[in-house]
Amino acid sequence: MDSMNKPLLTEQPVFKLLQEKASAVPHLKDLFAADSDRAQQMLVQGPGMLLDYSKQRVNDDVLSALEQLFCQLKLPEAIRDLFSGEVVNKSENRPALHSQLRVPADKQPQAYQDVENQLQRMSRLVDKVHSGVWRGFSGKRITDVVNLGVGGSDLGPLMLTQALKEYAAPEAKNLRVHFASTIDGSQLFDLLDHLNPETTLFLIASKSFTTIDTLSNADTVRAWLSRVCPDEALMLRCHFVGISTAVEKMNQWGIVAENQLEFWPWVGGRFSLWSAVGCSIALDLGMVTFRELLAGAHAMDEHFRTAPALENIPAMMALLGVWNVNILDIRAHAILPYDGRLKYFPSYLEQLEMESNGKSVTQDGQAIDYATCPVLWGEIGANAQHAFYQLLHQGTQPVAADFILAARRYDRSLDQAHGEALTAQHELNIANCLAQSRVLALGNAAVEPADNPFRHYPGNQPSSTLLLEQLDAYTLGALIACYEHKVFTQAMIWGINPFDQWGVELGKQVALQLQPLLKQSDNDGKAGLDSSTRLLAERIADLRGQNGRSGK
């Protein structure tokens, strides 16, 4: 059996080569000192953006070895398989065709006509809400939409609507779009307090339509609505839209057929914002913006599919990531967008990268002996400077980073009274972004050396900078697709499956087993539990006034 398995990354001859080359790479300050043209040679142009990786700890030798790795691991074939719909998600026996969702309608093959059909259905729904044709149970127009979803059905749309607010279409501006995801109902608790049930529409987005977080929120909403609208059929027809791959489950819950938007099993949850899961995006920003998002992502798909490894932004980000994790042993990766609009981008990537590549067996089920996805986190760069940058500059952890920056900003505000002041802020922001990556790389060498030990900056923390022409639907679509393909490329190098998430299943099962036990007043059922869980359950019951005592 073992002989049939693909060789592990560490068994590849080129991996040894890379390890040997690591010690020969000098400090970043020396790399820059040795070659005044370094940056020009380490620049990759892609749709709407460019990647500067000159502050990564690589030289020409390393780059050519990484290119060899790319070819030896048959990445070109893997990319071809991804796009042609091969079963790349082996543990779940299906393809991963999120890129198919972004193919322009006129190029979409017959087999995928349903993609455009669903987009049109969504477009009509969005139009009905925007134009006031969609009515709540009492005949009033919809003023608020709440997206009930979690994970892939929440993070992507939330991130995008925050990022692109300024591009909202005029017809979308009077509609307020909210997101509720948490299983504890906290967000709903706040929302239901001020929303009007007559004029609120709920989107229930769940790939399986069984996600307990989302459906428990949906049940709460149903109870909230039934108080004012006892006619259940009317309530379901006027206030609930379902977005799922599971039509039967939507029917069971009571979503009427006209209010169902479908996507397909070959779209992974965290790759689903391009499907009807993006309905909240289209409602908040307009269908035109949503289509631009798809166009940007498609442009990145084409770039990724056709550009050679060293001129391919996602491929380069993946290779440099593997170099950092597996050769330089850097196990942390910071996402640092220098743009307040990208507030939720780091949390979005946390799911995309860590849920995809936080794995330790190969596609064939073989245990692996090397690191995969690093711990990845982030924050708006300029704010993070006041939070965790201290650790980046002087801590003991090596950390790699992605700086993300839009070159143009506030172009449309220039004629406003505060336009100049805003432009000055943007310039200050650019200066901070460039300064931080410079200091991380060069350390003391960025300034005059000092003797004070507290003012010692070792430098040599690697980073890449993604420079967007401007932040709009097109470039953001391309940026997200870029990270998706980076994740895929890394998974192929590590030999793992980025499209499943078995790790999150067990916790869900155990929670379902525990829930009835917690309700029991006696302690018999809890006898089989570990002492920690048992003790906590008992204390919680005491505090809540169960276990036969009255709570205070």
Partner 1 sequence: MNIRVLGNNLEAWTLAAVLASTGCRVVIAAKQLPDEHSELAELDLLRLLQKQLAQGRLQLIDLADTVFNPADSCELLIDARTNLSAEQRFQALQMFSDAVQAESAIYALVQPVAVGTTDQLQCMLLDACKGRETKAQIDCLYWPSFIEAGRALESFTRSGRLLIGASRLCQNPKTEGDIPEGVAAIRELMAPFNRSKDAAMVMSAREAELTKIGINGMLATRISFMNELADIASRQGVDIEAVRQGIGADPRIGHQYLYPGCGFGGEAFTDTLGFLGEELEATESAQGLASGLLSSVWQINEQQKDLLFQKFWRYFNAEIKGRTVALWGCAFKPNTASIAGSPALVLIQALLSHGVQVQVYDPMAMESLKLWLNSAQIRLNSEQKPDDGQVVFCDSPEQAAEQADAIMLVTEWKLFWNLNLTEIATRMKTPLLLDGRNIYPPKRAQQAGFVYSAIGRGQTI
d(CA 93, CA 79): 17
Catalytic residue among 355, 379, 485, 486: 355
Least spacing, CB of residue 90 vs partner 1, in Å? 42
Residues with Cβ within 8 Å of 3's Cβ and at least 6 positions away in sequence, in order, are none
Least spacing, CB of residue 140 vs partner 1, in Å? 6
Q: Are 525 and 517 in contact (CB under 8 A)?
A: yes
Least spacing, CB of residue 172 vs partner 1, in Å? 15
Least spacing, CB of residue 91 vs partner 1, in Å? 41
Residue closer to partner 1, measured from CB, 202 or 348? 202
Residue closer to partner 1, measured from CB, 72 or 117? 117
Type and span of the H or E element at 200: strand 200-205
Q: Terminus-to-terminus CA distance in the chain, angstroms?
A: 62
Write out the two tokens for 12: 């590849």
Residue closer to partner 1, measured from CB, 236 or 309? 236
Helices 287-306, 75-84: crossing angle, 10 deg rounding: 140
Cα angle 510, 148, 487; round to 5: 70
Least spacing, CB of residue 134 vs partner 1, in Å? 9
Instruction: List 146's β-bridge partners, or say none.
Output: 178, 202
Q: Check if 508 is active-site.
A: yes
d(CA 218, CA 199): 16
Type and span of the H or E element at 334: strand 332-337
Three-state SS for 276? helix
Catalytic residue among 16, 74, 508, 519: 508
Residue closer to partner 1, measured from CB, 135 or 249? 135
Amino acid in the structure at residue 211? T
Catalytic residue among 107, 194, 386, 552: 386
Residue closer to partner 1, measured from CB, 141 or 249? 141
Q: Check if 21 is active-site.
A: no
Tell me 318's DSSP state.
H
Least spacing, CB of residue 318 vs partner 1, in Å? 42
Type and span of the H or E element at 346: helix 345-349
Least spacing, CB of residue 275 vs partner 1, in Å? 21
Least spacing, CB of residue 135 vs partner 1, in Å? 6
Residue closer to partner 1, measured from CB, 237 or 305? 237
Residue closer to partner 1, measured from CB, 203 or 238? 238
Residue closer to partner 1, measured from CB, 138 or 390? 138
Q: Could you write out the three-class secondary structure of 419-479?
A: HHHHHHHHHHHHHHHHHHHHHHHHHHHHCCCCCCHHHCCCCCCCEEEEEEEECCHHHHHHH
Q: Check if 386 is active-site.
A: yes
Residues with Cβ within 8 Å of 324's Cβ and at least 6 positions away in sequence, in order, are 56, 57, 330, 333, 374, 400, 462
- How deeply is 397 buried, as exposed, middle or buried, from its count of CB atoms within 10 A (0-12, 13-18, 19+)? exposed
Residues with Cβ within 8 Å of 197's Cβ and at least 6 positions away in sequence, in order, are 136, 224, 225, 227, 228, 229, 239
Q: Which residues bind partner 1 (CB under 8 A)?
A: 124, 127-128, 131-133, 135, 137-141, 231, 234, 237-238
Catalytic residue list: 355, 386, 508
